[in-house]
Amino acid sequence: MARFDKKSRQKVLSGSLFGAGVLLAIVLFAITNYFGWKYHQRFDWTESQLYSLSEKTENVLAELDRDVEVVVFMSPGDPLFSAVREQLARYEAGSPRIGIRYVDPEKNLLEAQSLVDKYELSHLNVLVFDSGDDRRIIDSNDLADYDYSGMQYGQSAQLTGFKGEQVFTSTLVDLMESRKPRILFTTGHGELSLDDGSPEGMSLARELLGKDNFELEEWATIGQSQVPLGTDLLVIAGPDSTFLEPELQVFRSFLESGGRMLVLLDPTLSAGTGLVETGLEALLVDFGAVVGEDIVVDPSNPLPFFGAETIFVNSYSDHPIVRSLDQAQLPVVVALARSVGLATEASGFDMQELMRTSPDGWGETGFDNLQEVGFDELDLPGPVPLAVAVESAGEGPESDLESLSAEGAPDGDPAGQMRLVVVGDADLATNAQLQSVPNATFLGNALNWLVEREALVGIPPKKPEQVKLSMSHAELSRLTWLVLIVLPGLVLLAGLAVFLRRRR
């Protein structure tokens, strides 16, 4: 009886320990899953942090005030599908208002057709950001930059930059804004045209900025008494003749009333021995920018296969417009530029250079023989500043996102701090130069900063990792033998040896 009791106690104890172990395992599993759900953390192991969200995007997600469903019409076989899915997963994790829905047009024909009719899509391979009565449609081709230079040699286009975060955040901001910023481009003095599709035109800028949710128009300045009401930003891009005094007075009044301007000035040679005076040079001095009477050269940073007047710039300040370019080490290409520095005698402004040449660059002031230039005591020594940003001194907006929902001044007039960006080159915004990702990023950042859309400043395209394994035919053959024959053979031999040993 005692023996039976002992065995019974052992069984009960053993069963209790087993039950306690199972219960403990269940509790640990539940606790682990709870904390994993509540305090989850996503990691980005890519070298360029391809999928990590910037602080700007995190701020936008925190301020998101409406539910947004993202419907992705992409096949899993699409080269961008995995990048889009990983990027959107981080948006979904960053805000409970974001929902993601994937539709494979090849497998779910009925569902795809239903949504195509609902959203009135003309083609597939798109993403729809749906927010109730408002929606935005993104073509998947707008999510990446490609290098097509190798196609003439039979090579496929190479992915050079993934713009998922840039495009997705811009779309969310557009849904949150009550109105699109209105940008006027001046005409009548030889300025670059938004409708010009040639290499010297700005049709690509119209396309890029339209995707960034700006309202773009051209505006003839001659005979105007004021900048039209409701104008958020005035752009003067590459004039090659002189503005009349009444026009300059309109620009001055606009800036003094808190307006925003982007001025792109090329060094245009006159019939004499100097540069064409546009009249803007004297005006800009009063607002903190000094435009030089020179042509900038930089022997240390030439662009291969181009003349000495075409250089790349990779020396930046810490200003928000160029901070992301500096961090990513992306060089801006400028062609036939003039210097633009700070007017130290101007007061009441916060002024900062944006980019400059290397110390070996200089501003050439001798225009008699530009085929053989060389630095002399009359030239501007390097490093030469090429762009500046100026704003009225004082406190800015309380937060970066405050302007996202601002209705603007009741009468549409400029209000708040004056902001001005002056660049000594207009070519960087032309179709020929905007093919360069850094140039497009610089232009977009400048415009977003000028209209106080800081949430979109500093999100450049990210370079994807393209890891390739190159092997000769002989190396591939040896690897095949190793994986398919040698390793399985060794496993079989080891198993046979163990079997024979046990039989003994």
Per-residue tokens: 204 = 């690509």
What are the tens digits of pLDDT across the range 209-224? 775 568 899 999 999 9
Q: Which of 143, 160, 176 is where one domain is finished?
A: 176
pLDDT of residue 28: 83
SS3 353: strand
What is the extent of the structural domain holding 90? Answer: 40-176
Q: Which of 146, 176, 206 is where one domain is finished?
A: 176
Say which residue the tokens 């009225």 belong to.
Answer: 392
Distance CA 12, CA 18 (A): 10
Output the CA angle 455-461-467, nearest 5 degrees.
145
Phi-psi region of 332 (alpha: psi -120 to 50; beta: other; left: phi over 0): beta
Length of the chain: 504
pLDDT of residue 396: 44
Residues 6+ apart with CB under 8 A from 411: 229
Contact at 8 Å (CB) between 100 and 88? yes
HEC readout, 91-156: HHHHCCCEEEEEECCCCCHHHHHHHHHHHCCCCCCEEEEEECCEEEEEEHHHHEEEECHHHHHCCC
Distance CA 196, CA 203 (A): 5
Beta strands 158-162 and 144-147, pairing class: antiparallel
Per-residue tokens: 367 = 């225009």
Burial class (CB in 10 A: 0-12, 13-18, 19+), 338: buried
Residues 6+ apart with CB under 8 A from 454: 56, 320, 400, 401, 403, 448
Listed range (19-33, 158-172, 464-478) with the worst mean pLDDT? 464-478
Listed range (188-197, 277-286, 328-337, 492-501) with the worst mean pLDDT? 492-501
pLDDT of residue 407: 41
Whether the pLDDT of residue 26 is over 70: the answer is yes
Per-residue tokens: 281 = 């040079």
Whether 315 maps to a domain, the answer reads: yes
Whether 478 maps to a domain, the answer reads: no
What are the tens digits of pLDDT across the range 460-497? 555 555 445 556 677 777 878 887 888 888 888 888 88
- Whether residues 305 and 445 fall in one domain: yes
Q: Which of 413, 437, 456 is where one domain is finished?
A: 456
**What CATH number has the domain bearing residue 140?**
3.40.30.10
Higher-scoring residue by pLDDT: 445, 37: 445
- Whether residues 118 and 215 fall in one domain: no
Q: What is the mean pLDDT of residues 152-174?
A: 76
Higher-scoring residue by pLDDT: 15, 229: 229
Per-residue tokens: 188 = 């009548």
pLDDT of residue 260: 96
- Whether residues 289 and 230 fall in one domain: yes
Whether 288 maps to a domain, the answer reads: yes
pLDDT of residue 410: 36
- Whether residues 171 and 229 fall in one domain: no
Residues 6+ apart with CB under 8 A from 431: 196, 197, 198, 199, 200, 201, 202, 203, 204, 205
- Whether residues 330 and 350 fall in one domain: yes
- Whether residues 54 and 132 fall in one domain: yes
- Whether residues 155 and 302 fall in one domain: no
Listed residue (365, 316, 359, 320) closest to 339, CA to CA: 365
Distance CA 448, CA 232 (A): 11
Listed residue (179, 284, 183) closest to 235, CA to CA: 183
DSSP 420: E
- Whether residues 390 and 406 fall in one domain: yes
Whether the pLDDT of residue 398 is over 60: the answer is no
Whether 256 maps to a domain, the answer reads: yes
Whether 93 maps to a domain, the answer reads: yes
- Bond prior to 79 in cis (omega within 30° of 0): no
- Whether residues 366 and 404 fall in one domain: yes
- Whether residues 254 and 346 fall in one domain: yes
Whether 461 maps to a domain, the answer reads: no
- Whether residues 294 and 210 fall in one domain: yes
**What CATH number has the domain bearing residue 371?**
3.40.50.880
Listed range (123-137, 248-262, 451-465) with the worst mean pLDDT? 451-465
Q: How far is CA 87 from CA 57, 129, 462, in A?
A: 12, 14, 12
pLDDT of residue 153: 63
Whether 504 maps to a domain, the answer reads: no
Chain centroid offset of residue 23 CA: 52
Q: For the stretch 465-498, what's the b/e string if a residue is b when 16 or more beta carbons lie within 10 angstroms of its beta carbon?
A: eeeeeeeeeeeeeeeeeeeeeeeeeeeeeeeeee
Highest mean pLDDT: which of 109-113, 377-381, 454-458? 377-381
pLDDT of residue 411: 40
Per-residue tokens: 94 = 């960053």
Q: Which residues pair with 71 in a beta bridge?
A: 101, 128
Domain count, the chain: 2
Beta strands 182-187 and 215-220, pairing class: parallel
Listed residue (355, 351, 354, 374) closest to 364, CA to CA: 374
Q: Which long-range contacts (CB under 8 A, 24 or more apart) does 149-157 make?
A: none
Position 228 confidence tier, pLDDT thresholds 50, 70, 90:
very high
Average pLDDT score, the chain: 82
pLDDT of residue 77: 85
Distance CA 255, CA 250 (A): 9
Position 389 confidence tier, pLDDT thresholds 50, 70, 90:
very high
Q: How far is CA 139 from CA 46, 124, 326, in A?
A: 25, 8, 29
What are the tens digits of pLDDT across the range 409-430? 434 445 578 999 999 999 999 9
pLDDT of residue 91: 92
Distance CA 55, CA 296 (A): 36
Whether 71 maps to a domain, the answer reads: yes
- Whether residues 283 and 331 fall in one domain: yes
Per-residue tokens: 271 = 């019939």
